[in-house]
Structure 1
Amino acid sequence: MIQDIAPRTFSNAYKTKRPETTNYALYFNGHSILVGKDSPTLRFPRFEELTDVREEIYQEAIYLFAIDDECFYLVNHLPEEQPEFEMKDTGIFRTSNPRHLAFAGITAYSLYKWYDNHRYCSHCGNRLVRHDKERMLYCEKCNNTEYPKIMPAVIIAVTNGNKILLSKYANREYTRYALLAGFTEIGESIEETVKREVMEEVGLHVKNLRYYKSQPWSFSDTLLMGFFAEVEGDDSITLDREELALAEWFERENIPVSESDISLTSEMIEYFRNHQE
């Protein structure tokens, strides 16, 4: 999965320190990020590689995290005309290498969106201020506080003996087979989310829920939790056509080959393909 970057180590402990010239400077504008031109691998600029920058760039840079001894910072108001770099869509992180930089890029993008969307207090409209001890923004006028928001969601592999249920989303750019998925609503447990989403999307009851593993999925600011669940009773599908284009059962030996290894969905499908219980 995209966060599996071992033997490298990801450290997200918050710090307030001035960047050094050798640290990475990540610059976003909407859905785009500044990366190396014509590079066969993913390349982010270091502060020393930026041109026509003012001292304020260093003063206003926000520490994000570190991978091993490499520190990553978020920078704003950067002149986009950088000779060695160009703006590209953040979708490149789905396929780029090296993997640890792709993970760094999409994680940084999630934090960029949070900072960009929380410039002002939602209660009184005053400008929010960065805290010096933790990743938090606060209002000096009304004491309102804002922390990064992570949305819990489930990925569900519904099985029926030697078969697994695969689906395709409706009205989305992603057209490959996937597992059922959905966000947890206020007032329900993760297990209740699994049962509700399966019933809503394909009209099936499930039993014997088994937790598999989790994944931070910064493409949608989500913490995904994967479950295997066995169908209970009739396995006839009643499709929610607003959510899904199709859903069908696949025998283990006929499961379509996945073209990506970055997602929890792909790993769970491959796990079922290769582990007969």
Structure 2
Amino acid sequence: MDRADHLRDQPEALSELWPRARVIVLDNSGNALADDDGSLRAPLGRELSDGPGGVGAAVFLGLAADGQAWFSIDAELVAFDAPRRVDLRSAAGHWPLLQASVFAQARALQHWRSRHRHCGVCGGEVASARAGWQGRCGQCGTEHYPRTDPAVIVAVSDGERLLLGRQAGWPARRYSVIAGFVEPGESLEQTVAREVLEETGVRVRSCRYLGSQPWPFPSALMLGFAAEAEPDEPKTGDELEEARWFTLDEIHAASARGERAATGEPGDDDGPLLSPSISISRWLIEHWRVAAQARAGR
């Protein structure tokens, strides 16, 4: 997707694109309108002409590789309905990449706009500008932009094992790598060391950046790291219910279980489960597993 920033200040060009553009429609809960089978129902702009909303009320998302424009709009602004609503987590696991990416982009912008309707400087009402990518206070003129919260997520190893933790509210037996938000005045490397120490009591020696993933639940950008740490005994506090080291064999077995939840029926394997495949957490775990297998000559 080409986000085509240069078109955000060209209302006439956007109006020309609108009739043939695809529009993702989101309800008040941030779910997308979908067909009976759960696939995205994205009408053309000209199909939404009967409602109070139009190109002026929509957010311009960009241009696909074939040149088709994509917009998003709130369902309350259009006379359009669909048999189903699909949440972003479900869509990320089943929809084509372009559609899932469009949904993530639209959902993050909807969340920002719905929570920044008044200026933080003077309290005045904020109006949408630049095709939904800017807010402008009608009272003091302050400009506001979509918020992204940087967070580190890190696969911590003592050279032989991988450190995983779980929160009390997660599905039974699910574990993930360690994560936390960046604080003001802090480098990413400092955040890695601080968050791992605060959540598990394990001391990080070094870390390196591997990759990132937007995580619009509601507005995080996950920055993935691999870290080497001391073989300290994990100690949890308020954030984690449990944290412990996992051997390569344990990670391999957990990976083989997939993403299913426990059924509770006799004979069900009650071993640990890993993060969903849509998450950078799972990617970091698999990255460590493959590297550890190579080191072990497996």
Shorter-chain TM-score range:
0.7 to 0.9
After superposition, residues 186-225 of structure 1 pair within 5 angstroms as 186-225=184-223
1:176 aligned counterpart, secondary structure: coil
Residue equivalent to 1:78: 77
Residue equivalent to 1:24: 22
Higher relative contact order (CA 8 A, sep 6+): 1
Aligned-residue Cα RMSD (Å) equals 2.5
The reply on whether 1:249 has 2:229 as its aligned counterpart is no
Indicate how the Cα distance of structure 1 residues 40 and 33 shifts in structure 2: closer, same or farther if over 3 A, else same.
closer
Indicate how the Cα distance of structure 1 residues 171 and 36 shifts in structure 2: closer, same or farther if over 3 A, else same.
closer
The reply on whether 1:262 has 2:259 as its aligned counterpart is no
Residue equivalent to 1:5: none
**Equivalent pairs, count:** 265
Q: Structure 2-normalised TM-score? A: 0.79
Q: Contact between 1:93 and 1:106, CA under 8 Å: does it hold in 2? A: no
1:216 aligned counterpart, secondary structure: strand
Letter in 1 for 2:58: A
Match of 1:237 among 223, 231, 234: 234
Q: Return the alpha-carbon distance in structure 2 between the equivalents of residues 211 and 59 of structure 1.
A: 40
Cα distance, 1:80 vs. partner? 6.3
Unaligned runs of 5+ in 1: 1-8
Unaligned runs of 5+ in 2: 260-275
Q: Return the alpha-carbon distance in structure 2 between the equivalents of residues 51 and 38 of structure 1.
A: 24
Residue equivalent to 2:60: 63
Letter in 2 for 1:253: D
2:212 aligned counterpart, secondary structure: strand
Q: Structure 1-normalised TM-score? A: 0.85
After superposition, residues 4-153 of structure 1 pair within 5 angstroms as 9-11=1-3, 13=5, 15=8, 16=10, 17-18=14-15, 19-39=17-37, 41-50=39-48, 52-54=50-52, 56-68=53-65, 69-76=67-74, 77-79=76-78, 82=81, 84-132=82-130, 135-153=133-151
Indicate how the Cα distance of structure 1 residues 156 and 221 shifts in structure 2: closer, same or farther if over 3 A, else same.
same
The reply on whether 1:156 has 2:172 as its aligned counterpart is no
Higher mean C-alpha deviation, range 167-176 or range 104-113 = 167-176
1:72 aligned counterpart, secondary structure: strand
Cα distance, 1:220 vs. partner? 3.0
Indicate how the Cα distance of structure 1 residues 229 and 72 shifts in structure 2: closer, same or farther if over 3 A, else same.
same
**Regions of 4+ moved over 3 Å:** 40-43, 48-52, 84-91, 130-134, 172-175
Residue equivalent to 2:288: 272
Residue equivalent to 1:169: 167
Cα distance, 1:22 vs. partner? 2.4
Cα distance, 1:24 vs. partner? 1.9
Cα distance, 1:81 vs. partner? 5.6
